[in-house]
Structure 1
Amino acid sequence: MPRIIVQKFGGTSVGDTSRIRRAAARAVAAQQEGAQVVMVVSARGKKTDELVSLAGEFDIEPPAREMDMLLATGEQESVALMAMALREAGAEAVSLTGGQIGISTDDTYGKARIRAIKTDRLREHLDAGRIVVAAGFQGVSDSGDITTLGRGGSDLTAAALAAVLGAERCEIYTDVPGVFTVDPRIEPAARKLSRIGYDEMLELASLGAGVMHSRSIEFAGKYGVPIEVRSSLSDEPGTLIARAGAPARPVTGLALVRDAARVTLAGLPDRPGVMAEIFRRMADRAIPLDMVVQDLSVQGIAEVSFTVPQEDLAGALAAAKAAVDALDGAEVTVGTDLAKISAVGAGMPDRPGVAAKMFRTLADIGCNVELVTTSEIKVSCLIARDRANEAIRAVHAAFELDQAADADAAHRDDHPLSPQEQRVRTVVEGLQGMEDIVVADVSLDAHQARLSVRPVPDRPGVLADLFEAVAGGPEDDPSTGATVDMIVQNVSHAGHAAISFTVPESEANYAAELAAAPAVRWGEGAVQIDPHVAKLSVTGVGLRSHTGVGLKLFAALAEAKVNVQLIGTSEMRVSVVVAANEGERAVEAVRGAFGIG
């Protein structure tokens, strides 16, 4: 079977006739090397902004259906011009809209999800020697309406076509030469990565790295599509996004979300069903929650905080107020002018002091941390927005990300799939819609302990003091420290905060001894310990972008009358801590809700 390459060109890469010709030359060169080529093309330059502005002259809130009809014309212009450029270069070419290709979507205008893609017409043109120029960003609903896929839609189209065609690779041409350790506009010492794993890239994409949108990485990871991000202006190698290899260092890259807003629901009754009520209200408004933090309750009163993009704050506030109306005594507070800084790396599980080093670095520049949430490969901190650039540069230097490691990631293409990767593949084979959520596993760790330190002074350095002590000192010597899993810090009150974390139950007493030392130095704060808790984790792809996942999880726990003590989230996993004697009941209920045997 002939090898197939999918090439995607963004708006800046087709912004004028010279760039269109340059993109066409790349496709012709790939075809001359023996590949069948599909080009996915975005609207030119500022065309989409121009169309949005035109619509606003007629209607302040134009109908979503008509906006999709309008915006899709930008890609139609581009594909027609590209096909002409290809013919000028001596190649046979055909331009196709999403509907002509056979990209079937749901009917969510503006943010449609792909259900299926027909390949007959594509393969017919490819086998006839033509380069297919496909309109990105668009499809057709079951009712025959034109739909658009939302932000990053052309990347998603490219990954989807590569998946259904079994392409050798998907090349994303853009105005940057690849994926960097951090945005080089913030830190000039940022280094381009030669390779990065799907999970790491998905976390970085969702956390603010703007090279690719997270939905396209979700898609590529689910279907095993290798993606290379390359510059459209040079021939230098880019960054390969593929199966992860052995990590060369604990942190691969940093990401920044500059426009974060915090919503806190305080005074919540600590009982089963409360989180389900909150997530139900958010799902009704399709509000994608980012950092979700629930710390241990005090005297039957709980508190949960979450972050949303600033543009979604009004909707999140309305949903939060609707939820507290049903929960007597609860109140809603808001934090703005915030940013989220995150460190991501597949090597974190083997280096227990990563969080401590990040906290110490922020403390050294006098940057206070408002919220903390962690996962196996991510540490995220909510800080003041005006400290964001300084914080990113300091953390980048602390982890020496400007210096090349032996390899960004070892190749694993020829290695067997891991058990988790195999579970994902198995679930994907049974999906009815190509973008449906993949819940690959619901697991239970029934051998954890929870420690809480409260009250602690809300000032820079407290987190660093605590987790350096628990990890065995600044050099994070695993032989002298405890193994920290989840870390949760919620918003402070009256100058005092509370910090909770989990460790293996066998290390509970030792971890408590280590944590007590900084508390003594602060002159306040006591260590509370529950030596037997259980951590339930839902693992999969699309957990955050599908806003109903949290609702399904917490509704299942509520129905089983299981109370939630702590919450931690990431792109690939949602974890909750529950009482040890409720662990088996919890995992059985959640597995049933997600259809996991």
Structure 2
Amino acid sequence: MSLIVQKFGGTSVADVEKIRSAARKAIRAQRQGHQVVMVVSAMGKNTDRLLKLAGEVSKTPSAREMDMLLSTGEQVSVALVAMAINELGSEAVSLTGGQIGMHTDSSFSKARIQSISTERIERLLNDGKIVVAAGFQGIDDDLNITTLGRGGSDTTAVALAAVLKADACEIYTDVDGVYTTDPRLLPEARRVDVISYDEMLELASLGAGVMHNRSIEFAKKFGVPIHVRSSFSDAEGTMIVTESESTSAPVGGAAMTPDEARVTVLGVPDVPGKSLQLFSAIGDKKIAVDMVVQNVGSEGRADVSFTVPRDELTTTLEAINGVIEQVGASGVTHDEDVSKVSVVGSNMASQTGVASKMFRALADAGVNIQMITTSEIKISALVPRSQASDALRAVHQAFLLHERPADAKSWDEIKADRQPSDDVAMMVQRLRDDALEALTLTGISVLDRQARVTLFGVPDNQGIAADIFETIGAAGIMVDMIVQGFDGHDGSTSVSFTVAAENLPESLTVAEEIAKRHGMRDVQGGGSVAKVTVSGIGLRSHTSVALVLFQELAQSNVNVEMIGTSELQVNAVIDETHAAKAQKGLEKVFADSLGGC
């Protein structure tokens, strides 16, 4: 008998009638011949009410007691849903996180799942019951109640689907699927039939509210098909699987993260180990750093820029100021009035001109770019918050995301073309691991025979990035990694990009023409560099990856010339003579996490 996990969010169980509607969906699935596990969130606004109560009782409640309190929201929901199912003529049993065997570590408010004991759930399912499981919560070794943090019910549902080897995990929510961007921001956004795990991981990390990134990490790691559907209609929704909807469209989605803050540490000594010192101090505060840019240094010093959530800016600055003398940096600047606009697409790596097309769209919309980072499937630009909505609309229109690609396939068509998975043994092994959310890396690679070009003193004017990369593209030069960061000399920016080593002379010629045209301060080129890449599932939620990379390179006395990060990769440009040593060292320190995917 097939098994389906259904997850219902807070808006889907916000009142009695919605609870009954959720119960009917589960009963219908059971009567169609499926075993059914429901994962239920707290009723809409209930968590907010509990947080308000806690604030009235204590200004600084302990994390343990907050988990004890917040877990009650889901316990109310599961009991009511089970009652509704029983009232409608079927049999259901509600279970807390501890009762479903959800074992976590002891990181209150952000616990990670270590294992799930499925015996009780399987026994109840075999007895014909619908199991109604509390999302968002588990227990640690001391039987303390823990919560999984933001998106915890999504994570619970996909984790249960993985360990139970469910045929599908249905996520019922207040939207009818995944859209090319947030339809509340752009009404012309289009619902997609299929989206890949990698694309969804990037979009989730950028703030797409439909799914949380940790749940997508689980799904990719264990090959769980996710079906995002509306709680209030029978629309087909969106499938999140390995494949993309289109094999030709360079971009599948766009996102805007509104509340970002940019931090730039100026004059960091351009020697091994300094990035490690800086980001270790930030990591100790459990701050999620994104959009890291270390551009090429001049006069023995480099500037390091990165973004953090706006509400964590004060804590970030405190962490930096605590180590700035130790690092030897000359100062720090910040801007809390910025937003991040990104485009994501699985086919981006195989197509040229995607970056220049995005930059041109932003220029034509009058949007100024402050920072740029790229990865194989994502391009992000930091823009003034006042221009963020215009920026999102511009890139959405430029890539025709409102139109269905000509070669788009439905899930049924993709499923018909699928071949049996070759990595079933690997998935089974992972399910036996004692830490389901342990870091899983998919590879450590080196792209050698690369060169680097840097433009210093790039005017902070709209259209500059578009002109740079349109000119380079017109010269037939293929660009790999792009970073734009702040230049501490005069408040301008600097732009670096990597190319194949044989293209360095031509690239420098083109760069010098660009520099002259725009009055830039200098152009530098460096041959014999290599890009070291650590790839994995959900690197942003496993913040230690970048720190371990920096630590290993520092201990090997390898200097980092450029840095670029994404949800799926951490990239560092280094001297090519150190590439083999760096790869060997990284494979050793990450040996326990390398598992392929």
Q: TM-score, normalised by structure 2?
A: 0.95
Alignment check: 8 A CA contact 1:199 1:572 kept: yes
1:478-537: CA deviation from partner (whole Å, max 9, x where unpaired): xx5211111000024535321100112232223333333333322435432212211100
Aligned to 1:335, the other structure's residue is in SS state strand
Quote the residue 1:415 is aligned against.
419
Q: Can you list the C-alpha shifts for 1:539-561, whole angstroms capped at 9, x where unaligned?
A: 00131111211111101111000
Q: 1:72 to 1:503 in 2, by over 3 A?
A: same
Q: Displacement, 1:181?
A: 0.5
After superposing the two structures, state which structure 1 stretch, 346-355 or 28-37, moved more: 346-355
2:439 paired residue number: 437
Contact residue 303 and residue 487 of structure 2 kept, 8 A: no
Cross-structure match for 1:334: 334
Instruction: Give the distance between the partners of 1:366 and 1:517, measured in 2 at CA.
Output: 24
Query: Which shifted more, 326-335 or 119-128?
Result: 326-335
Cα shift at 1:430: 6.9
Which residue of structure 2 aligns with residue 5 of structure 1?
4
State the distance in 1 between where 2:105 and 2:191 align. 37
Match of residue 97 from structure 2 = 98
Deviation at 1:215, TM superposition (A): 0.7
2:564 pairs with one of 563, 568, 580: 568
Counterparts of 2:90 and 2:421, CA distance in 1: 39
User: Relative to structure 1, is the Cα distance of residues 427 and 356 closer, same or farther in structure 2, using a 3 angstrom cutoff?
Assistant: farther
- Kept in 2, the 8 Å contact 1:198–1:242? The answer is yes
The corresponding residue for 1:524 is 520
Contact 2:292 / 2:304 at 8 angstroms: preserved in 1?
Answer: yes
The C-alpha deviation readout for 1:86-124, integer Å capped at 9, x for no partner, is 011111110000101100000000000000001100000
Quick check: 1:469–1:517 contact (8 Å CA) kept in 2? Answer: no
Measured on the aligned residues, the alpha-carbon RMSD in Å equals 1.8
Larger deviation: 300-309 or 488-497? 488-497
**Deviation of 1:56 (Å):** 0.7
Change (3 A) 1:331 1:386: same
The 8 Å contact of residues 227 and 238 in structure 2, kept in 1 or not, is answered as yes
Question: Do the aligned partners of residues 427 and 562 (structure 1) sit closer, same or farther apart at CA in structure 2, a change above 3 Å counting?
Answer: farther
- Alpha-carbon distance, 1:453 to partner: 1.4
1:427/1:440 contact within 8 Å kept: no
Which position in structure 2 is the counterpart of 1:353?
A: 353
Deviates more, 1:424-433 or 1:193-202: 424-433
Q: 1:594 aligns with which of 570, 590, 596?
A: 590
- Correspondence for 1:490: 485
Q: Match of 1:411, as an amino acid?
A: I
- SS of 1:101's equivalent in the other structure is coil
User: SS of the counterpart of 1:326?
Assistant: helix
Deviation for aligned residue 1:77:
0.5
The superposition leaves residues 332-374 of structure 1 with CA deviations (integer Å, 9 ceiling, x where unpaired) of: 2111111000000011112211110111111112211111000
Matched residues in 2 for 1:424 and 1:570: separation? 25
**Which runs of structure 2 are paired with 1:45-124 in the superposition (5 Å)?**
45-124=44-123
* Residues 65/524 of structure 1: CA separation in 2 closer, same or farther (3 Å cut): closer
Aligned residue for 2:477, secondary structure, equals: coil
Q: Assess if the C-alpha contact under 8 Å between 2:278 and 2:327 holds in 1.
A: no
In the alignment, the residues of structure 2 paired with residue 163 and residue 497 of structure 1 have an alpha-carbon distance, to the nearest angstrom, of 46
Q: Select between 332-341 and 500-509 the one with higher mean Cα deviation.
A: 500-509
In structure 1, C-alpha distance between the alignment counterparts of 2:379 and 2:70, rounded to whole Å:
37
- What residue ranges of structure 2 are gaps of 5+ in the alignment? none
Counterpart in the other structure of 1:248 = 248
Cα pair 1:99 1:139 within 8 Å, conserved: yes
Q: Which residue of 2 aligns with 1:27?
A: 26
Q: Distance in 1 between matches of 2:481 and 2:428?
A: 28
Q: Is residue 424–residue 440 contact of structure 1 (8 Å, CA) maintained in 2?
A: no
Aligned to 2:367: 367
Partner SS for 1:406: coil
In the alignment, the residues of structure 2 paired with residue 191 and residue 20 of structure 1 have an alpha-carbon distance, to the nearest angstrom, of: 29
2-side partners of 1:147 and 1:213: how far apart?
Answer: 18
The answer to whether the 8 Å contact 2:163/2:431 transfers is no
Cα contact 1:181–1:192 (8 A) shared by 2:
yes
Kept in 2, the 8 Å contact 1:222–1:424? The answer is no
Give distance in 1, aligned partners of 2:393 and 2:425. 38
Unaligned runs of 5+ in 1: 473-479
1:398-430 deviation per Cα after TM superposition (whole angstroms, max 9, x unaligned): 111111113445726723669xx8998598467
Instruction: Classify 1:31/1:407 alpha carbon distance in 2 versus 1 (closer, same or farther; 3 Å).
Output: farther
Question: What's 2:384 paired with?
Answer: 384
The 1:314–1:428 alpha-carbon spacing in structure 2 relative to 1, beyond 3 Å, is farther
Task: In structure 1, give the amino acid aligned to 2:302.
Answer: A
Hey, what does 1:316 align to over in structure 2?
Answer: 316
- The match for 2:261 is 261
Deviates further, 448-457 or 153-162:
448-457
| Conserved? CA contact 1:48–1:71, under 8 Å | yes
**Deviation at 1:330?**
2.9
CA distance in 2, matches of 1:102, 1:427: 19
Greater CA deviation, 526-535 or 214-223? Answer: 526-535
Partner of 1:502: 498
Using the TM superposition, give the Cα deviation of residue 264 of structure 1 relative to its aligned residue in structure 2, in angstroms. 1.1
Note the alpha carbon deviations across 1:563-588, whole angstroms, 9 max, x for none: 00000000000000001111111111
Change (3 A) 1:296 1:424: farther
Residue equivalent to 2:200:
201
- Displacement of 1:383 in angstroms is 0.5
Paired with 1:34 and 1:199, the residues of 2 have a C-alpha distance of 32
8 Å contact 2:276–2:547 — kept in the other structure?
A: yes
Moved more, 188-197 or 421-430: 421-430
* 1:137-172 alpha-carbon deviations (Å, 9 max, x no partner): 000001110000000000000000000000000000
SS for the counterpart of 1:291 is: strand
Partner Cα separation in structure 2 for residue 333 and residue 415 of structure 1 = 52
How many residues are paired up?
587
Q: Which moved more, 1:134-143 or 1:438-447?
A: 438-447
Deviates more, 1:459-468 or 1:480-489: 480-489
Q: 2:169·2:224 contact (CA, 8 Å) conserved in 1?
A: yes
State the distance in 2 between where 1:427 and 1:444 align.
27
Q: Deviation string for 1:279-334 (max 9, x for gaps)?
A: 21122111111110000000100111111111221221122122213123432211
The answer to whether 1:547 aligns with 2:543 is: yes
Can you list the C-alpha shifts for 1:11-61, whole angstroms capped at 9, x where unaligned?
000001110111111111100110000000000010000001001111011
**Letter of the structure 2 residue corresponding to residue 397 of structure 1:** Q
How far did 1:186 drift?
A: 1.1
How big is each residue's C-alpha offset from its partner over 1:183-204, in whole Å with a ceiling of 9 and x where there is no partner? 1111111000100000000000
CA distance in 1, matches of 2:487, 2:447: 29
1:293 paired with 2:293, answer yes
Match of 2:555 in 1: 559
CA distance in 1, matches of 2:187, 2:300: 49
Question: What is the rounded CA distance, in whole Å, between the counterparts of 1:239 and 1:463 in structure 2?
Answer: 35
CA distance in 2, matches of 1:449, 1:269: 22
Distance in 2 (alpha carbons) for counterparts of 1:239 and 1:490: 37
Q: Structure 1 CA distance, aligned partners of 2:425 and 2:4?
A: 27
Query: Secondary structure at the residue paired with 1:56?
Result: helix
Q: 1:427 to 1:489 in 2, by over 3 A?
A: farther
Kept in 1, the 8 Å contact 2:303–2:486? The answer is no
Give the conservation status (yes or no) of the 8 Å contact 1:427–1:439: no
Question: Aligned equivalents of 2:396 and 2:429: distance in 1?
Answer: 37
Q: Matched residues, percent identical?
A: 50
Query: Does 1:126 pair with 2:121?
Result: no
The amino acid that maps onto 1:313 is L
